[in-house]
Structure 1
Amino acid sequence: MASFSYSKMDICSGAMADLSFTFSVVRVAPKAEEAHQSSRQSPISRLPVELLCGIFHKYVEIPSGKPCIDPDRYSTGPRVSRASHTDPSLLTQICSHWRSIALNLPTLWSTIFIRQPKQSQLELTRLWLERAKEAPLSLAIWQTPVATEIDAEAAWEILSEFVARSDQWKKIDFQLPSAVILPFHQMMQDRKCDNLESIDFHATEVVHPGLVMTSRENRWDDQLEDLWKTFLSSPSLSDVTWRRLPPGGPPSDTVFSHLTSVNIAFDINVDDFLRILSLTPNLQRAQVALAIPSLQSSPSSPLSLKSLHTLQLSTRLKLSEILPKITAPSLTNLNIVVDESIASCSTLNPLQDFLQRSRCRLTTFTLVDRNIPSEAVESSLDFPELQSLTYLRLEGKLPEKAASHLLETQNGSYTRMPLLQHIYVGTAWARLVSSRWHSLPRDQPDDCEKMERFTRCSNRFHTSMDHEFQAMKDRELPI
């Protein structure tokens, strides 16, 4: 398909506003094809094919207004994603022109999401795969582990359709009960997935309602290990999500130089996390939940993560357990969430030392630590590494004095964090946000950024807005 320039994609976004109206008009038109040939064609009927392709893609990407409360309601056929209930088949029912375009646009059918595999989904899944032709595939199967909700035969048949095209896999997200791991392993024998770029694969024990859950069985570990070896062997693989470590723990004899993104979506100990980091020298994004402290002595020198630009850290440990052990000179996005059960340090010295040692400059920073002293929060606003921030989120004890510091100006520019565009804090800081919007003199320098967005944190201890925040609402400023 022809590539689109940014301006054309903007036009596509604007055209989407008229798309639902067009659907209703064309569907009720008794002679839609004659209208298409008529000289009085509507503007959207005269759009170039390339532009219609862009609109079709935008249409299937539209997220649903509300999450699916009843997953079975949309289980009669495949979906394009968890967030969208849009069916591209609708585009084939408008007119022959649109049908021809949709059927000859393989990428429109190459993203398939299956929730609770059922026989009713099988025929349409095969049809979508056929229409996808040779396009790279993004496939997802989410199956709950509850025994009464598992249709093993349907899951096996849909998996077999997916496995038959493993050489086209670009992204897979398989959340499967252990009951189908053995047939899945058998189907993957001698199969390759050399074009696989992203994987999120997880197997759970089958739960039988009314029975007491026993300890996890290990009878599937050999099959899981073989499957992971197949996935990790893809030379194109760059993004991995682990919901539990592969059997035997993190690999120790392979360097995953091709991985750029790792998400460890379970509680892991510091030692295993550092081992994974050491195996991924080109890592750019890391997301991890730390819960177990290191059992080994600290290394003589911190592990250098030269390519890491995004670190999302959720921890039940103090920051001093992990930050002194790594260095990230390219870091620009840092997200730290400290569990409320952890007694916070009296200062943010581990964070400051980490930033100074890394010599990085952050553009986005999130700190959620409800136990940290307000003085530590206030002092962090002076960190040189935070002066390039465009996004700031703070949740914890936020002193009013800190807000006043962020309002100090010199020669028409803010002296602290002058580039802030998005603040996510409590309502007590509404004066800061209001001032950042409209308090500077009219002759302020062009390079002095203004606030673009403010998100108000819900806080049960501050149920009323202060007058500055209310004034912003009265002036219909974007909040």
Structure 2
Amino acid sequence: MSEPKSYIQVLSPELLGRVFDAYAHKPDEEKHLIGLETTLFSSCESGFYANPVILSHVSKNWRNISLDRPTLWSTMIMVRPIASHIPKVENWLERSKTAPLTLQIMQTIPDDDTPIEPLREERTAVNTILEMLLKHIERWEAITFFLCIGFLPAFAEFPQGKLDQLKSATLNLATWSTHPQVVDRVFRAIHAAPELEFVSWCASFFQTGLPDHVPWQQLKRIELDVNDISEEPSSVGYVLDILSKCPQLTSAKFILGFCKTTTPKALNTPLNLPNLRSLALDEASSPNIAYVLQNLTLPSLHTLNLSLFSDEERSSANLFKAVGSLVGRSKSTLKYLGLDIDDEQLLKLLPFAKDVEVLRVGGAKTKKFTSLLTRNANNKISLEVLPKLEYLHLTYAQDAMRPHRISASTAALNRMVVFRTSQPPATPGLKKLKFISVGTAASSFQTAHITLILGTYSHLNLKSVRFEGN
């Protein structure tokens, strides 16, 4: 009598192929590689390791399925490429057949102490890899190239009119200042891509400013650090100038850390962007954030992220009024709110966030903050603060520029969570807290205080309690 087969053995090739795709392209948090400390060749973005070759070594059936699934091999993530990556690129290009390619190359960012010889070897390897990839340029769909060790000859005669499938492009060619014509030629080809939706120039045009051939009219997503496009501080009005050129935008992020302190005159009529769902203003001063928000109408706004530059830059401008007027004027329903602002502004703003379901809070989390979020069945006003909140993330990291501290006591945090998970029967429409996370995936934090909190949540009806970090 034969043994019964396991569920995985009876899956159809198509379903098993989808499982393979999930493994190859979905981040595995336990294998997260932070930074550029090591070399990496992966099929998974965001610094996570995955390799479909592993699947092909399990059994003959799995090998046949994996080799016959081009999408498994069409994403190549290379961090600090080395010579051994070259045959892998050749192999994966062959196995990906005609599938659109997602490509990422992250070179070493050298400093004064970086040894010269490894840089030379890496530069040679990257140049060879780029030569191979250029032979399949018509298949490029998304590219992220941080080419930080100077000019690479492979791009000297960058092909024009070949990027028919390109939708997303991020390039950092800041160290190529000795070859401005090549930089311009590369971006001319990218900007001419008919399907292009997103482009990030990083600091490629730091000395000259963005070129006039940027296809603003067709872009749906932009991400721009204003310090990367000019040696002199830019006016915050530049943000509105850019937005006014992009009628199809659905997502925009601006890093405004070095904008001029003086704000220009407000627009006569707020700029209306009907499709913009996500807006982030990062490392900005309070007046600059308020200026941008006061000059926009965003009827589709779903996600708003605001981050002040540092404690020293946090003025008393009425951010809560700017946010309130934006939401009211736009008649939008704000569901996701990320705030790294001073405590005073935070406490004023939260009572107006009636529809927010996801809240991420940086900066200081004080007893006042936890008291504001603590519900009281006998206090109607407390029930009106974030009534629909389901997911709360508290950033916690020791950062000199952005202190993300939790100064509220363990007892105050516990009380807030307990009361957020207890829904009074007489209050219809009030949602319970389902998810809470503390920390940041990019920074380590002191665990002693957080561990005390973790132990007290075991009796609550939370779907998830996650504590991130190292």
Q: Gaps (5+ residues) in structure 2? A: 111-115, 229-233, 395-405, 466-470
Residue 406 to residue 440, structure 1, CA distance change in 2 (3 Å): same
Counterpart for residue 224 of structure 1: 183
Alignment partner of 1:179 is 2:150: yes
- CA distance in 2 between partners of 1:332 and 1:66 (Å): 32
- CA distance in 1 between partners of 2:379 and 2:364 (Å): 32
- CA distance in 2 between partners of 1:411 and 1:295 (Å): 41
Q: How big is the shift at 1:415?
A: 3.0
Residue 114 to residue 168, structure 1, CA distance change in 2 (3 Å): same
Query: Which AA in structure 2 matches 1:431?
Result: R
Alignment partner of 1:472 is 2:440: no
Counterpart for residue 30 of structure 2: 65
Task: State whether residues 284 and 308 of structure 2, in contact with CA within 8 Å, keep that contact through their aligned partners in structure 1.
Answer: yes
- CA distance in 1 between partners of 2:452 and 2:129 (Å): 58
SS in 2 for 1:65: helix
Counterpart for residue 130 of structure 1: 94
Deviation digits for residues 288-314 of structure 1 (CA, Å, limit 9, x no counterpart): 110213675433222222211111111
Deviation digits for residues 51-86 of structure 1 (CA, Å, limit 9, x no counterpart): 1101111222342514447968655x5554353322
Alignment partner of 1:451 is 2:433: yes
Task: State whether residues 431 and 468 of structure 1, in contact with CA within 8 Å, keep that contact through their aligned partners in structure 2.
Answer: no
Residue 435 to residue 99, structure 1, CA distance change in 2 (3 Å): same
Q: How big is the shift at 1:251?
A: 4.3
Q: How big is the shift at 1:439?
A: 5.1
Counterpart for residue 121 of structure 1: 85
- CA distance in 1 between partners of 2:313 and 2:143 (Å): 36
Counterpart for residue 262 of structure 1: 222
Alignment partner of 1:283 is 2:256: no
Residue 421 to residue 223, structure 1, CA distance change in 2 (3 Å): same
CA RMSD of aligned residues (A): 3.4
Query: Which AA in structure 2 matches 1:286?
Result: A
Counterpart for residue 359 of structure 2: 392
Task: State whether residues 247 and 273 of structure 2, in contact with CA within 8 Å, keep that contact through their aligned partners in structure 1.
Answer: yes
Q: How big is the shift at 1:468?
A: 9.1
Task: State whether residues 308 and 341 of structure 2, in contact with CA within 8 Å, keep that contact through their aligned partners in structure 1.
Answer: yes
Q: How big is the shift at 1:358?
A: 2.5
Q: How big is the shift at 1:250?
A: 3.1
Alignment partner of 1:317 is 2:285: yes
Counterpart for residue 45 of structure 1: 9
Computing the radius of gyration from Cα coordinates, the structure with the larger value is 1
Task: State whether residues 283 and 305 of structure 1, in contact with CA within 8 Å, keep that contact through their aligned partners in structure 2.
Answer: yes
Residue 464 to residue 474, structure 1, CA distance change in 2 (3 Å): farther
SS in 1 for 2:19: helix
Query: Which AA in structure 2 matches 1:202?
Result: N
Greater shift in the superposed pair: 449-458 or 272-281: 449-458
Residue 303 to residue 255, structure 1, CA distance change in 2 (3 Å): farther
Q: How big is the shift at 1:229?
A: 1.3
1:2-401 superposed matches below 5 A: 41-60=5-24, 61-63=26-28, 65-68=30-33, 74-75=39-40, 79-146=43-110, 147-148=116-117, 149-151=119-121, 152-177=123-148, 179-186=150-157, 188-190=158-160, 192-205=162-175, 218-244=177-203, 246=205, 248-252=208-212, 255-265=215-225, 267=227, 269=234, 270-290=236-256, 291-293=258-260, 296-318=264-286, 319-340=289-310, 341-345=312-316, 347-348=318-319, 349-370=321-342, 372-373=343-344, 376-383=345-352, 386-394=353-361, 395-396=363-364, 398=366, 400=368
Q: TM-score, normalised by structure 1?
A: 0.77
- CA distance in 2 between partners of 1:468 and 1:142 (Å): 38
Q: How big is the shift at 1:379?
A: 3.1
- CA distance in 2 between partners of 1:391 and 1:343 (Å): 24
Task: State whether residues 406 and 417 of structure 1, in contact with CA within 8 Å, keep that contact through their aligned partners in structure 2.
Answer: no
Counterpart for residue 213 of structure 1: none
Q: How big is the shift at 1:366?
A: 1.7
Deviation digits for residues 363-391 of structure 1 (CA, Å, limit 9, x no counterpart): 11122123x42xx43332332xx211101
Give the share of equivalent positions with the same residue, in percent: 24
SS in 2 for 1:286: strand
- CA distance in 2 between partners of 1:406 and 1:309 (Å): 29
How many residue pairs match? The answer is 422
Q: How big is the shift at 1:221?
A: 1.8
- CA distance in 2 between partners of 1:317 and 1:358 (Å): 23
Task: State whether residues 243 and 266 of structure 1, in contact with CA within 8 Å, keep that contact through their aligned partners in structure 2.
Answer: no
Greater shift in the superposed pair: 420-429 or 255-264: 420-429
Q: Gaps (5+ residues) in structure 1? A: 1-37, 206-216
- CA distance in 1 between partners of 2:330 and 2:218 (Å): 23
Task: State whether residues 254 and 279 of structure 1, in contact with CA within 8 Å, keep that contact through their aligned partners in structure 2.
Answer: no
Q: TM-score, normalised by structure 2?
A: 0.79
Residue 284 to residue 406, structure 1, CA distance change in 2 (3 Å): farther
- CA distance in 2 between partners of 1:408 and 1:327 (Å): 35
Query: Which AA in structure 2 matches 1:389?
Result: V
